[in-house]
Chain A
Amino acid sequence: MKLYGKYFVMHLKSVMEYKTSFLLTCISQFFVSFNIFLGIYFMFQRFSKVEGFTYPEVLLSFGITLMEFTLAEAFARGFDTFGSIINHGEFDRILARPRGIILQVLGSRIEFTRIGRLLQAIVVFAYGLAVSDVRWTPWKVFSILLMLLGGTVVFSGLFLIYASVCFFTIEGLEFMNIFTDGAREYGKYPVSIYGKRVLQLCTFVVPYALIQYYPLLYLLDRGKPSYSLLPLAACLFIIPCLLLWRAGVRHYTSSGS
């Protein structure tokens, strides 16, 4: 943990060398996701509800998914850009150092420019909170924290899968983006609106529903209290991802490329 802190400070120092570039990227990140927000806004100019969810409720869903994705992207950036880490021989260097491999990959890239998008997510979320009529209890606040945790873990797991694929193909596969960037796009609406099949897929295969739809139902007093704990179950998703990663590392050390 102390080592990760060191990495964190190093990235912060590096970023501060290029203040203007940093600021501009942050602003552009803000506006890119602002687009998605506009999409939702105009949609609800036409319709008052989507599959039983009102405008503020969708904003809550969008805000949370965006936060989860953004946190994962900022901190698991090393896995997201793993192709370049391998190509530049950085991974050899990582193996030649006496520390955990995953910790070093996480430490090698931290994307502070995602603050712009995180800010956007927080604003949207706060606005959703203000206009919706969610009755707040301490447990609900806690369940939001669980959602953030579970969501960050699930998205990090997806990045980890992406990175593991790089061991075999070197370049990484663009189709993986469906699961990461795609999920960010579609995650603005509660997954149930895409139909039962998608909901099942998002519950048992890639557990998006466990970090978004079900806990959201609980927040809106439409679901059981036990739904609030589902993000913890979503964290189990990381286990197969880690197994795949280990297989990838083993492949790398036996093929050297």
Chain B
Amino acid sequence: MITLTHVCKTYKVSKRDAGFSSALKALFHREYERISALDDVSFTISDGEMVGYIGPNGAGKSSTIKILSGILVPDAGTCLVNGLIPWKNRIEHVKNIGVVFGQRTQLWWDVPILDSFELLKEIYQISTPLYRQNLEQLTEMLDLSALLKTPARQLSLGQRMRCELAGSLLHSPKILFLDEPTIGLDAVSKLAVRDFILKLNAEKKTTVILTTHDMQDIEALTSRIILIGKGQILLDGHIHQIKEGFDSTEEGLASFYKSHHI
């Protein structure tokens, strides 16, 4: 169970005009602007739910994910994930979550995938029977058997993403954060990743929070979406609410953004 209540976060961003003289001025006196990344954000996600967390670039998606995964401390508000405050009980909390960043890899570039997994086993202190069981299951679900002995650098993006997913699930996390898991993938790989996420959610009851710009991901995976813009929750509901009256979700979303001036 994840609850966020009245979470606020502002960043200090230095600003200056273009040009050399203003660069010089900024050396001595810097002007800061306070940018509100999250402004009174509240939502609740139950165990085993699958939620699409969407919004335009810079809306506050990654700030939210960072707060939920214990990386960032909010200025105000409270956040409880399975009874723990992420940034206060960092180590206890992160044992129960898995994070996949579509743009970054956690696999070691030059060594076989299996070696990266073994290191994760050590980092998360996964017991050998559990590790074997999870590895076997994930290998089968994601069709990894041919990939495990290859170094990450020799894998295609799609193959690597499948390994990435497996790596973040070896410790049986209760919650999985997926940050643009299908970015840059070809159609076949996209479908494979989607199928896997659906199966994972159905079989293991893993809570999945997915951020993406790909509306087909959302349509295929979730019924509930939380839409954030300019740091505020604009919609917490069903994907149909966006799509209604439009040919595609994409168009509905674009018009929704426009109507909220974001």
Q: How far is the CA of A255 from the CA of B9 in the complex (A)?
A: 9
Interface residues of A in 1-59 (CB under 8 A from B): 2-3, 6-7, 10, 13-14, 17-18
Asked if A256 contacts B71 (CB within 8 A), the reply is yes
B73 surroundings in chain A (CB, below 8 A): 253-254
Asked if A88 lies at the interface with its beta carbon under 8 angstroms from chain B, I say yes
**Interface status of A257 (Cβ within 8 A of chain B):** yes
Q: Does B187 contact A (CB under 8 A)?
A: no
Is B94 among interface residues, defined by CB-CB distance under 8 A?
yes
Bound CA span A254–B66, Å: 11
Residues of chain B lying within 8 A (CB to CB) of residue A6: 118-119, 122
Q: How many pairs of residues, A versus B, come closer than 8 Å at their CB atoms?
A: 73
CB contacts under 8 Å to A, within B40-78, are 63, 66, 69-73
Partner of B69 from the list A3, A88, A96 (CB cut-off 8 Å) is A96
Does B252 sit at the interface, judged by CB under 8 A?
no
Task: Provide the residues of chain A in CB contact with B111, threshold 8 Å.
Answer: 10, 13-14, 17
Instruction: Kindly supply a per-residue 1/0 record for chain B positions 98-135, scoring 1 wherever the CB is within 8 Å of any chain A CB and 0 otherwise.
Output: 01010010101111000110110011110000000000
Q: Which residues of B contact A99 (CB under 8 A)?
A: 91, 123
Are the CB atoms of B94 and A98 closer together than 8 Å?
A: yes
- Total interface residues on B, CB under 8 Å, equals 34
**A14 touching B108, Cβ below 8 Å:** yes
CA distance in complex: A90, B104 (Å): 9
Given contacts A14-B108, A92-B66, contact A2 B122 (CB under 8 A): yes
Q: Sort chain A's interface into a size bin.
A: 20 to 34
Q: Check: A95 CB closer than 8 A to any chain B CB.
A: yes
Knowing A13-B110, A96-B70, A256-B66 are in contact, say whether A88-B123 is a contact too (CB < 8 A): no
Asked if residues A95 and B70 are in contact (CB atoms below 8 Å), the reply is yes
Assembled-state Cα–Cα distance A89/B151 (Å): 21
B70→A88 contact, CB < 8 A: no
> CB within 8 Å of A: which residues of B?
9, 11-12, 63, 66, 69-73, 87, 90-92, 94-95, 97, 99, 101, 104, 106, 108-111, 115-116, 118-119, 122-125, 151
